[in-house]
Amino acid sequence: MILMNYIAAFFLIVLGLYTIVTKYNLVKTVIGLSIMDYGVNLLIVTIGFNPGGTAPIFTFSELNPSSFFVDPIPQALTLTSIVIGACVTAMSLALVMKIYEQYGTMDTREVRRLRG
């Protein structure tokens, strides 16, 4: 089952990149970024997953060599990563709005005053 997760993570990352590269709409580019981010988040969670493990909530007295739990660090990382992803999305959407105001278009092929 866990293999499915890895495949899905890989698929999501590639899908995100594909969207960024081929779609000529600014909003779709932002969506691509988000999809890529979700893919990585899925990857992180999957890496920390132990089949059959419990939630990693222990006090020191409960903790013994036989306690079996999923790795807590990737979960913490995922939370951070999700927050950062949300920030990036918010920021890029703000930029997209401003760009639409200035350029009057959402087409990336026309947002190219800086080139050469």
**Closer residue to other proteins (CB): 22 or 66:** 22
Residues 6+ apart with CB under 8 A from 99: 26, 111
Structure tokens at 68: 């079996």
Interface with other proteins (CB under 8 A), residue from 47, 70, 82, 106:
47
Interface with other proteins (CB under 8 A), residue from 15, 17, 31, 70:
17
What pairs with residue 25 in β-bridges? 107
Structure tokens at 66: 């036989």
User: By CB under 8 A, is residue 35 in contact with other proteins?
Assistant: no
CA 76 – CA 44 distance, rounded (Å): 10
Backbone angles phi, psi at 87, to 5 degrees: -60, -45
The minimum distance between CB 110 and other proteins, in angstroms, equals: 9
Alpha helices (H) along 23-103: 26-48, 72-103
Contact 99, 111 (CB under 8 A): yes
User: By CB under 8 A, is residue 12 in contact with other proteins?
Assistant: no
Between residue 64 and residue 103, which ones bind other proteins under the rule CB under 8 A? Answer: 71, 73-74, 77, 80-81, 84, 87-88, 91-92, 95-96, 98-99, 102-103
Contact residues toward other proteins (CB under 8 A) are 13, 17, 20-24, 26, 29, 33, 36-37, 40, 43-44, 47, 71, 73-74, 77, 80-81, 84, 87-88, 91-92, 95-96, 98-99, 102-103, 108-109, 111-116
